[in-house]
Structure 1
């Protein structure tokens, strides 16, 4: 595999493994690259939030970075919002379907809770 660089800060991406699933994490800003379906698979595996060692404040800072390219195929990535957790913004590659979470976002994504679900159901309700 070619050496990958962080799409946000250009730091090196290191391989980290949890439950035999290999992801890439930036050694600088601690953002995480997931190949297609890895984030969804890891969301269901207990303890996988330990992959996300970064500080949410750092991740929030990197949310401000504009257009980024996929670290795998160099395609311009699309900004996405998690429907049940609209405070989580991440980037997805329209070609290889990889996902980039900034520091703290995967842990937050994994900890979707009852209140997130309630907000999703009733967020558009009028009084």
Structure 2
């Protein structure tokens, strides 16, 4: 098999984990794991480990961002965002379901205990959550810029209102242009 990144380099078999073989490239340090090898390893791996928070010094992965051909069946692989504060994508063959890990991607997943959930990364629910998390980050950045130093206080007030037993009355008061006007449509009752 040839490396999908280096094209001319042949992949050699190595043991990535106990009971998990991978085909590695000596040049780019990428790793190919066949779907069969992954599922066999996962079956013997035991219980799924809980996800860990990012370390202060996370492992930097080489995310080669060009199209790659599957080393097994030569079809173009699809790229999937990992998410969970990991800023790289995994390449999966849509035909044989094998996965290509650019240099250090497996190690970065393992550092966070996500290496035993690789199969979930390619699922619709996982990808949907990745998109939601990205949208949330984007909106957080917009609000931070728009409100600058007041943003923390605004979030504090919002939380206070959300947890207050008289939430509806407070929101009525705040949304009424003149809550003291007699006959106002939004009374405090």
Alignment TM-score, normalising by the size of structure 2: 0.46
Unaligned runs of 5+ in 2: 47-58, 114-129, 141-154, 156-189
Unaligned runs of 5+ in 1: 46-54, 114-119
For residue 8 of structure 1, the aligned residue among 5, 8, 30 is 5
> Does the residue aligned with 2:27 lie in a helix, a strand or coil?
coil
Runs of 4+ in 1 over 3 A off after TM superposition: none
Counterpart contact for 1:12–1:28, Cα < 8 Å? no
1:80-109 deviation per Cα after TM superposition (whole angstroms, max 9, x unaligned):
111324412120000110100100111101
Counterpart contact for 1:24–1:33, Cα < 8 Å? yes
Counting matched residue pairs gives: 103
Distance 1:99 1:85 in 2: 20
Alignment TM-score, normalising by the size of structure 1: 0.66
Tell me the equivalent position of 1:24: 23
Larger radius of gyration: 2
RMSD between aligned alpha carbons? 3.0
Name the one with the larger strand percent. 1
Name the one with the larger helix percent. 2
Tell me the equivalent position of 1:51: none
Deviation at 1:69, TM superposition (A): 0.8
